[in-house]
Amino acid sequence: FLKGTADTNYNTPFPSNFLFGTASSSYQFEGAYLSYGKGLSNWDVFTHEPGNVVDGSNGDIAVDHYHQYLEDLGFMDDIGVNSYRFSISWARILPKGRFGTVNRAGINHYNKLINALLLKGIEPFVTLAHFDIPQEIEDRYGAWLSPEIQKDFKYYADVCFKAFGDRVKYWVTFNEPNVGVIRSYRSGVFPPARCSGSFGNCSSGDSEKEPFIAAHNKILCHAAAVHLYRTKYQKRHGGSIGIVMNAVWYEPISDSMEDKQAVARAQAFYMNWFLDPIILGRYPTEMQEILGSNLPAFSKNEVKKLKNGLDFLGINHYSSFYIKDCMFSSCDQGPGISKTEGFAFRTAQRDGLFIGKPTTVDWLYVYPQGMEKIVMYLKERYNNIPMYITENGLGEVEHQNSTIEGLLNDVKRVDYMSSYLHALGTAMRNGADVRGYFAWSLLDNFEWTDGYTIRFGLCHVDYSSLKRTPKLSATWYKDYIAKNRRAARTCTDA
């Protein structure tokens, strides 16, 4: 009887312990870039060189979250989230990597943040590396291009687990290592801005080789941190550790066998590149076949350490694309024709029609089915591993004639989030083990090479006064969480 009542009343797919949260990262939010003992990060150096960020801006101040975190927690509290995903600034904890001392002020800062969260009943969900690393590591040995970085990453992870692990139950080694290595070493638009040939305009690098070396070292770093956590901390602290991947849904542009195979190659060269080694202990076969000796190899010992290296999988999902085969049929000039992208050409259009609704952001198309499909794809491929949607949201390019009223009345963001959450619910009803959802982002913030020109916040930030104002989407998310949580409790009680 009670079950029947709940079903006809409001049937939420989200269990009562589901994490609803918002996400952020250190460089995009904190500011305080040289205060309280912090060392220079690669992004501090990169943004201070002219020409790297469209509006010439940087994260020196960002949205001043370092100083205003208590106020920001107030917004989270009001929205009613039960989790907050943020990243630790590596250079704030270890200004010179393992070549210097631990910065006590940095440890104290994150202790205060974590304690304030827990006081409000908000679970910290912590990323160790979200693109920013100490510049020292870059200068000394070229960071991700050297296997030496395993020593630094392991040391940094150990310092964090030791300092915060008694209270942090969710650890993420890397945010989007796939996007990181592609942008840093293939297209060269992220520091250290390395690329070659037609891939971009860089003074040095090798787009055909370096992305795979950097990825290999990131995978080994991940494995080292997971091994450390599992052997030294997990029993005592009872937390879990995972990785966050950028996941794009690829739809074949036609029903042909060739285009379907191209989709498999596109996923291999984007997402499974990292997930296959970390979960299955080997690179995707598509990559091995196409890259040959340009793909680094794991030793037997490394494979042993790698396998089953995830307690959970974090997914940042925003957009979908069509994929067209470029291995068996010829393609026009464009990205995707190279072997480093699996000869899979990515496009937003088929027969002149977009895959989803275009937005003001050039890489973002509104295709909510992509959320359901990517989650089901990962469920099948990786044996229903526990998943968290660690980012999802809609960006808005600010124009000369954008008004504050328009920015606050973000109906499109509400539509986007509600349709993507609905699609997520469908995947969960079909058995996907999804345990959380984080909106990107609580606040408008520094959008990497797009500077402050793209706004992703549930709250608007006035960049001169740094005043925060909740948008319609903040109110909507609050209602959504309340509705879906109350229903979940009713079910449990019944």
Please state the closest distance from residue 384 (CB atom) to ligand GBH, in A. Answer: 25
Q: Provide DSSP, 96-146.
A: EEETS---HHHHHHHHHHHHHHHHTT-EEEEEEESS--BHHHHHHH-GGGS
Establish whether 123 is a catalytic residue: no
Please state the closest distance from residue 16 (CB atom) to ligand GBH, in A. Answer: 28
Q: Which residue among 43, 298, 452, 456 contacts ligand GBH (CB under 6 A)? A: 456
Residue 175 is a binding residue for ligand GBH (CB under 6 A):
yes
Query: Which of 119, 14, 6 has its CA nearest to residue 421?
Result: 14
Q: How far apart are CA 247 and CA 468, in angstroms?
A: 30
The window from 34-42, 172-180, 221-229, 230-238 that contacts ligand GBH (CB under 6 A) reads 172-180
CA dist 457 → 21, 190, 392, 408 (Å): 13, 22, 11, 10
Please give the backbone phi and psi of residue 385, each rounded to the nearest 5 degrees, phi first.
-65, 140
The window from 112-120, 175-183, 227-235, 249-257 that contacts ligand GBH (CB under 6 A) reads 175-183
- What is the torsional sign of CA 28, 209, 243, 102? negative
Q: Which two tokens stand for residue 311?
A: 């307690």
Half-sphere exposure (Cβ direction) of 418: Cα atoms closer than 13 Å: 16
Please state the closest distance from residue 337 (CB atom) to ligand GBH, in A. Answer: 15
Please state the closest distance from residue 25 (CB atom) to ligand GBH, in A. Answer: 5
Q: Which residue among 138, 206, 447, 473 contacts ligand GBH (CB under 6 A)? A: 447
Counting residues that bind ligand GBH (by CB under 6 A) gives 14
Please give the backbone phi and psi of residue 110, each rounded to the nearest 5 degrees, phi first.
-70, -30
Q: Which residue among 46, 84, 170, 440 contacts ligand GBH (CB under 6 A)? A: 440
The window from 68-76, 107-115, 173-181, 399-407 that contacts ligand GBH (CB under 6 A) reads 173-181
CB nearer to ligand GBH: pick between 289 and 362: 362
Q: Which residue among 17, 162, 363, 422 contacts ligand GBH (CB under 6 A)? A: 363
* Burial of residue 91, with CB atoms counted within 10 A of its CB: 0-12 exposed, 13-18 middle, 19 or more buried: buried
Pairing state of beta strands 312-316 and 240-246? parallel
Residue 25 is a binding residue for ligand GBH (CB under 6 A):
yes
CB nearer to ligand GBH: pick between 437 and 440: 440
Please state the closest distance from residue 158 (CB atom) to ligand GBH, in A. Answer: 24
Residue 176 is a binding residue for ligand GBH (CB under 6 A):
yes
SS3 459: strand
CB nearer to ligand GBH: pick between 212 and 250: 250
- Share in percent of the chain as helix, strand, coil (round to 5): 45, 15, 35
- What is the torsional sign of CA 22, 26, 28, 33? positive
| Ranges within 238-257 binding ligand GBH (CB under 6 A) | 246, 248
Question: Beta-carbon neighbour count of residue 61 at 10 Å?
Answer: 16
Contact 24, 113 (CB under 8 A): no
| Ranges within 388-417 binding ligand GBH (CB under 6 A) | 391
391, 396, 405, 447: the catalytic one is 391
Binding mask 284-323 for ligand GBH (x = CB under 6 A): --------------------------------x--x----
Residues classed as catalytic: 391
Question: In the complex, which residues of this chain contact ligand GBH (CB under 6 A)?
Answer: 25, 28, 175-176, 179, 246, 248, 316, 319, 363, 391, 440, 447, 456
